[in-house]
Structure 1
Amino acid sequence: MIDNRLDDEYETLRKTVEIFAREEVAPVIGDFYERHAFPYDLVAKMGEMGLFGLPFEARYGGQGGDFFAVCVVIEELARVDSSIAVTLEAGLTLGVMPIYRFGTEDQKNEWLPKLTSGKMIGAFGLTEPGAGSDASNTITTAVLQDDEWVINGSKAFITNAGSDITGLITVTAVTGTSPEGRKEISTIIVPAGTPGLTVAPGYSKVGWCAADCHELAFDNVRVPASNLLGELGRGYAQFLSTLDEGRVGVSALAVGLAQGCVDQSVRYAQERETFGQPLGKHQAIAFKIAEMEARTHVARLAYYAAAAKMLRGEPFKREASIAKLVSSNAAMDNSRDATQIFGGMGFINETPVARFYRDAKILEVGEGSSEVQKMLISRDLGL
């Protein structure tokens, strides 16, 4: 029989983060959100808690845990706020993981201790204005000249790319052409502040308003040839691997948001009275919340299954896509239902459910859109 309960170690971690989210994030995050301000103090606290180093070896400043522990933490943070959750998720899965997975020992020793401490965060520069879901259409180029990569192009919607503690951006760029005429894409580490790298002002976003996100421009940006990450021409394969892991992390975030909608709706339905009785005594509301809880439960099982296969070293691409699809649907549906339950108050940005509603939509787009997930699932079925 499969037992999906958390063991003592994971449960202790979950409770620790639950307390942090409830007592330190929840009281202040609304203000950061409305000001579109990055919560540096909260990020620093997460660094002190060791959250940015959870799945990495101690010799690199990590905690020696695993990726499922990361998912447990992300879910718990997202029950309260998605901006703080995605800052950790992107900083870890997209900022640290590529260097940990594909970097040389010199690159790991240079970057990982700073990244795993949370004193520095990293970004993954993949998406371009003309290359979103079709990342193979990358046009940013990197040419090797005098033992330096010269990078030209642009990137869009890059999380953690322009904060005061951003230390590096791992950039995908075309570095050649294969004998078959296909683009050869490589990944290159670009330290923040490198001349020629321009960070545009932060986007005015619908949601994730306390998370850092920017467009980037590269104008003859020069970095040492040794900043190549992994094998030349293997950048496309590297980012596909990175995204598979990232999708499990985003699924955990979506489940956290969906659970947060349940939490808030149950509380409101118990406190709010209509027609002489608590709102939750009305069957229409009670059944709606029951459906919300069922969606959340199923979505959680989906990302648990994907994470389990990942940790066993088994192929998990299909499971990651299923988890991403199911959990993002649950987040969107639950946020809509929670807003309906709250009525007029659900349309007021001061309430958590209004933030949840604004934050949910991007989960159907980022880390591979829902349409991309359906494509990947159907292809894996042989269609």
Structure 2
Amino acid sequence: MDFSLSSDEQELADLCRVFAQREIATRAPTAWHEGRCDTGLLREMGSMGLLGMLVPPEWGGIGMTTVGFVAAMEQIGLADQSCAAAWQAHATIGSLPLLMFGSDTQRDRWLRPLAEGTALGAFGLTEPDAGSDARGIRTRAEPRDGGWLINGRKTFISNAGTDMSFGVTLLARTGDGEEARPRYGTFVVERDAPGFTMGPKMAGIGWRGLDTRELYFDDVWVSDDHLVGDPAMGLGQFLGTLEVGRISIAALSLSLTQAVLDLALDHAGSRVQFGRPIAQHQAIAFKLADIATELEAARWLTYRAAYLRDAGRPFMKEAAMAKLQASRVAVRAASEAVQIHGGSGYMLDSDVARFYCDAKVLEIGEGTNEIQHMVIARALGC
């Protein structure tokens, strides 16, 4: 099977590579160490059309293929994971619910600014008592006065609190159906809605340049036109969107693995111990060979999942496999790269330490790896 990039996909990857190395690689590490989201970079990416990657031109995007998106993600994430994480969250779960399930009016009102890069998108699912168990969310939306009254709390929500955030698209319970099975709806809450507040930026061990916060909804009223899609099918809508998000996390994992491999190769070629570069010692050379081999295998899994989506074929299992394997490879590769660097790699001012800190969340975000095992097992008929 040939996963060679088309001319448009290659042109996009080249554009992202040049921008990432010229702008992101030189500026984003400072934002990472300062713990702030560099929205200036995101705005520049928006002006290049990158924030509307998966959105058709009729709604302000560039209508790129999923394969092209993965190729672009590899270049952006190679420079900085926080910037790439903000971008992928915006381009997938932050934008696709509106594209896939919104009305034309909603797409024109909220999706177009997201695709054109003048606003940043976020999706609110996770709560203090509900993460992997998405059906356990407690945030509720009740019909009230020609609209919906929303009450609840979300946590670990990315992109909602920056100076270019438009608000958040969230999942809430809309009632209980037959046999007490809850129903869920998807709603848009704009950032200036009365009763919508958020906590301070949260501090994780990695993705320090990504804006992540807790969100609070206290009697937030939204009109009926803020409901996206079917008021009883919001969970299914979100899970459908999440499949694309898993491909993007797999792509982000590829970029991190490539980044730490490049750093480790460079260090091993210049670091001399026992009279020769450590790359010439079998113990180090075999570590590098393993990283390169596992990266290539994960890359094929990821591009196949993207190819299947572009072909209009089922890709849920393949997306879960790609996310599971690519994130595991990234965590192992980052650890080995730090080991190869030795003491210098343990210092937080090193690039390899920054990528090491960023790696772990790849096994957690967009569905933990334990959830990916469940998705794959069910697809196998277990």
Which TM-score bucket, shorter chain as reference? Answer: over 0.9
CA displacement at 1:193 relative to structure 2 = 1.8
For 1:59 and 1:301, the matched residues in 2 are separated by 31
Aligned-residue sequence identity (percent) comes to 39
For 2:279 and 2:5, the matched residues in 1 are separated by 30
What does residue range 1-383 of structure 1 map to in structure 2 within 5 Å? 2-383=1-382
For 1:341 and 1:367, the matched residues in 2 are separated by 30
- Deviation track 1:262-317 (CA, whole Å, cap 9, x = no partner) reads 11111111222222222211121111111101111111101111111111111111
Report if the CA contact (8 A) 1:161-1:212 is conserved.
yes
Which sections of structure 1, spanning at least 5 residues, go unmatched? none
- Deviation track 1:78-106 (CA, whole Å, cap 9, x = no partner) reads 11211011111001101111101100010
For 2:3 and 2:186, the matched residues in 1 are separated by 37
For 2:66 and 2:143, the matched residues in 1 are separated by 35
For 1:185 and 1:178, the matched residues in 2 are separated by 10
For 1:19 and 1:272, the matched residues in 2 are separated by 28
- Deviation track 1:24-55 (CA, whole Å, cap 9, x = no partner) reads 11122221111101112111111111111122
CA displacement at 1:77 relative to structure 2 = 1.1
Which sections of structure 2, spanning at least 5 residues, go unmatched? none
- Deviation track 1:201-249 (CA, whole Å, cap 9, x = no partner) reads 0111100000110010100001111110001100010011011111011
The DSSP-based 3-state class of the residue aligned with 1:157 is strand
Letter in 2 for 1:121: L
Report if the CA contact (8 A) 1:30-1:350 is conserved.
no
TM-score, scaled to structure 2? 0.98
Letter in 2 for 1:256: S
The DSSP-based 3-state class of the residue aligned with 1:95 is coil
Report if the CA contact (8 A) 2:185-2:235 is conserved.
yes
The DSSP-based 3-state class of the residue aligned with 2:213 is strand
CA displacement at 1:14 relative to structure 2 = 1.2
The DSSP-based 3-state class of the residue aligned with 1:156 is strand
The DSSP-based 3-state class of the residue aligned with 2:106 is helix
Report if the CA contact (8 A) 2:5-2:68 is conserved.
no
For 1:356 and 1:115, the matched residues in 2 are separated by 28
CA displacement at 1:6 relative to structure 2 = 2.2
Report if the CA contact (8 A) 1:262-1:292 is conserved.
yes
Where does structure 1 differ by over 3 angstroms across 4 or more consecutive aligned residues? Answer: none
Report if the CA contact (8 A) 2:302-2:319 is conserved.
yes
CA displacement at 1:144 relative to structure 2 = 1.1
- Deviation track 1:157-184 (CA, whole Å, cap 9, x = no partner) reads 0010111111021111111111221000
- Alpha-carbon RMSD across the aligned residues, in angstroms, is 1.0
TM-score, scaled to structure 1? 0.98
